[in-house]
Amino acid sequence: MPKQKKVHGHVPGPLQPAQNLCFACGPDNPDGMHLKFHLDETNKKFICKFRLPHKFWGPPKHCHGGIVATILDEAMGKVNKIRHVIAVTSEMNVQYLKMVPLGKWLTVESWEDRVEGREHHNIAEIKNQQGEVLARSTGKFIAVDPERMFKAFLKAKALKPRPLKQR
């Protein structure tokens, strides 16, 4: 069995905010997806098994395409952790191959294609339980300087989110 390592958030070390409110992976976002990724260190792939609830409804009994793109973007973004860089999405291409069902167990896997200077090119796929690829993406991510990018937040020492409105 490949060696797996749990990974959290987007920002390493002292720049890590007090809360992770990321829509895709943030455990502190009550409206988020709460995706939990693991690094398969042997194959250098990030993997997440998940089920999509009905709140992500698009076509009848299937996931909205924007949510599919979000999952793929998040998965590809995790790949940059292998090189210990923070990189933001610059370009992304999504192939919607088959409808992504709600309520069924799915897997998203992501890996590095290549690195060209600050450009990190990654790939991700969403598969069903039978291993069929339902959606695939390629993306270009640009490595950024986290201290410069998060300078305003460093002064505040921690992100303090606004209270969420009760529904």
CB 37 within 8 A of CB 75: yes
* Three-class DSSP labels, 106-134: EEEEEEEEEEECCEEEEEEEEECCCCCEE
**Domain covering 4-156, topology:** Thiol Ester Dehydrase; Chain A (3.10.129)
Share of the chain above pLDDT 70, in %: 80
Nearest to 18, CA basis, from 161, 145, 165:
161
Handedness of CA 150, 89, 24, 106 (dihedral sign): negative
> Residue 167 has what pLDDT?
44
pLDDT tens digits, one per residue of 52-90: 999 999 999 999 999 999 999 999 999 999 999 999 999
> Residue 150 has what pLDDT?
72
Global confidence as pTM: 0.82
